[in-house]
Amino acid sequence: MIHSRNRRLRVNESIRGLVRENVLTTDDFVMPIFVMEGENKQEAIPSMPGIFRRSIDLTVKECKELFSLGVKAVNLYMKVSEHLKDNTGKEAWNKDGLMQNTIKAIKDAVPGMIVMPDVALDPYSIYGHDGIIENGKVVNDATNDALARMSVSHAEAGADLVAPSDMMDGRVMVIREALEESGFTDVGIVSYAAKYASSFYGPFRSALDSAPKDDMEIPKDKKTYQMDFHNSREALNEVFKDIDEGADVIMIKPGLPYLDIVSKVREAIDLPIAVYNVSGEYAMVKAAAQNGWLDNDKTIIESLTCFKRAGADMIFTYFAKEAAILLNK
């Protein structure tokens, strides 16, 4: 006779809900947003169905809708005009730049929205790299100084947290010190501590035209600063260093193929963990759903819940709006 039957706690949805270990809510989401120059402009991103580049006015409108759905945090990326790009990234800290004006507009219109601008030079670089190029290489320390100036300008515009995604060594400490010295002691840092050199970023780079250029004597990829996807122990080394340097939130990117890293880091630290459900992951689900191979809605909720189960506290995802609508039902 069987005395222990696990199925007793799966008999119906009420019982399953009562013993459920992880529950997904709209408070878990950060919506990445692409911003472009102009007014009343919106451009579809072909590789990411349902995602758009928008001018500031339409971005504000979108943020209002997101907030009404319960999505209370956005992560900002700029589509920078070609004539503003160079090898210094100086447009990144222009107080009247597209990023700075976007931050101000969102905070003015939706004060409760948490704004997390991306901190990296690739959208501003003529080379498409996350750092400054010297003698054919991405240099570390000069890039850190640029990232610090960029972060302070974001804080001045009203950012709640800055999100350095560049993977330069020591940049969290340089940014933290710059924020402290400028009086922005309450501005947090979401550190991309374990960001891997991944093939899953393709649609994102087409959205911003931020891929490394092939026709120049520079590195053709970002493997000299982003992590090798073969490694896992190295991720903990990166995480511990960023915590020591002053990170407030630890980011792991990409997401679904790296749930082992999320789980490993969760066991090792008490800080909040963010995970990035990247553009390639989004595009794969959308492509499969459009072909009738997956149920779009069920797959979205299942995949996002997997991040919670692995140990993430917040999820950067292009599904945020769609998932919020599903959860609100």
Q: Which residues contact 67 (CB under 8 A, 6 or more apart)?
A: 110, 112, 113
Give percent above pLDDT 70 in the chain: 97
Catalytic residue among 85, 104, 222, 253: 253
Whether 253 is catalytic: yes
pLDDT of residue 89: 94
pLDDT of residue 208: 66
Whether 286 is catalytic: no
Task: Kindly report, residue by residue over 308-318, the tens digit of the pLDDT.
Answer: 999 999 999 99
- 19, HSE (Cβ side, Cα atoms, 13 Å): 10
Q: Is the pLDDT of residue 215 over 70?
A: no
| Range 37-56 average pLDDT | 95
Q: Is the pLDDT of residue 211 over 70?
A: no
| Range 198-222 average pLDDT | 76
Residue 209 — very low, low, confident or very high, per pLDDT cuts 50/70/90? low
Catalytic residue among 85, 104, 107, 195: 195
86-95 burial, b at 16+ Cβ within 10 Å, e below that, comes to eeebebbbee
pLDDT of residue 233: 96
| Range 139-145 average pLDDT | 97
pLDDT of residue 202: 83
pLDDT of residue 217: 72
Residue 216 — very low, low, confident or very high, per pLDDT cuts 50/70/90? low
Listing DSSP states for 48-73 in one string gives: STT-EEE-HHHHHHHHHHHHHHT--E
